[in-house]
Amino acid sequence: MLFLTWLIALLSSLSALFIGEVLGQVPCLLCWYQRIAMFPLALILGIACLVDDRAVWRYALPLAGIGSAIALWHSLLYFGVIPEAIKPCGQGPSCSSADMTILGGMPLPLLSLGAFAAISLLLFIIRRKEIA
C-alpha cells in the first residue's frame, strides 16, 4: 500500500517535469502550488518505503490534503464553476487552453486532483491499519 502511494507521487512528479521541461508547457501559478505539494510527497513517501515507516501519514497527509484542495480549486476554475472574476491564474500561462490537456483531452488540473485524492485515500488506509 505504501509503495503504491509513493509510486503515484513519483509518477505525478515525473509527469509534471516531463510536461514542463520536455513538452515545454509552462505551468500556471496554481500548477506550481500543486507541484510544491507533490514533489516533497514523492521524496517523503519514497523514504518511508525504504524504512517501512507506517506513520508516514502523519506528515504526508497534510501535504496531500493541501494539494487536493488546490487541485480541486484549480479544477473548479478549469470547468468554469468558479467565476472568472476570482481566477488567480489569469496572468501568465492559462490552463484553459488545449495545450494543458493530455491523454486525449484530459485536463491537467483534473489529473492532479485524481493523484492527490488517490494519495490521500491510500494514506487514510495506511493510517487506519497503523492505528488498528
Domains defined along the chain, listed by start: 2-131 (1.20.1550)
Task: State whether residue 10 is helix, strand or coil.
Answer: helix
Query: What is the per-residue pLDDT for 105?
Result: 76
Residue pair 30/95 in contact (Cβ under 8 Å)? The answer is yes
79 falls in which pLDDT band (50, 70, 90)? confident
Q: What is the pLDDT of residues 47-69, one digit of tens each?
A: 999 999 989 999 999 999 999 99
C-alpha torsion sign, points 119, 120, 122, 127? positive
> CA-CA distance, 79 to 5, in Å (whole number)?
27
Is 10's pLDDT higher than 80?
Answer: yes
Residue pair 92/29 in contact (Cβ under 8 Å)? The answer is yes
Q: What is the pLDDT of residues 117-132, one digit of tens each?
A: 999 999 999 999 888 7
What dihedral angle (degrees, nearest 10) is formed by the CA atoms of 68, 131, 54, 39? Answer: 10
What dihedral angle (degrees, nearest 10) is formed by the CA atoms of 74, 78, 79, 80? Answer: 100
Alpha helix segments (H runs only) across 18-56: 29-51
Is 92's pLDDT higher than 60?
Answer: no
Average pLDDT over residues 69-77: 92
Query: What is the per-residue pLDDT for 84?
Result: 65
Higher pLDDT, 29 or 41: 41
Residue pair 78/111 in contact (Cβ under 8 Å)? The answer is no
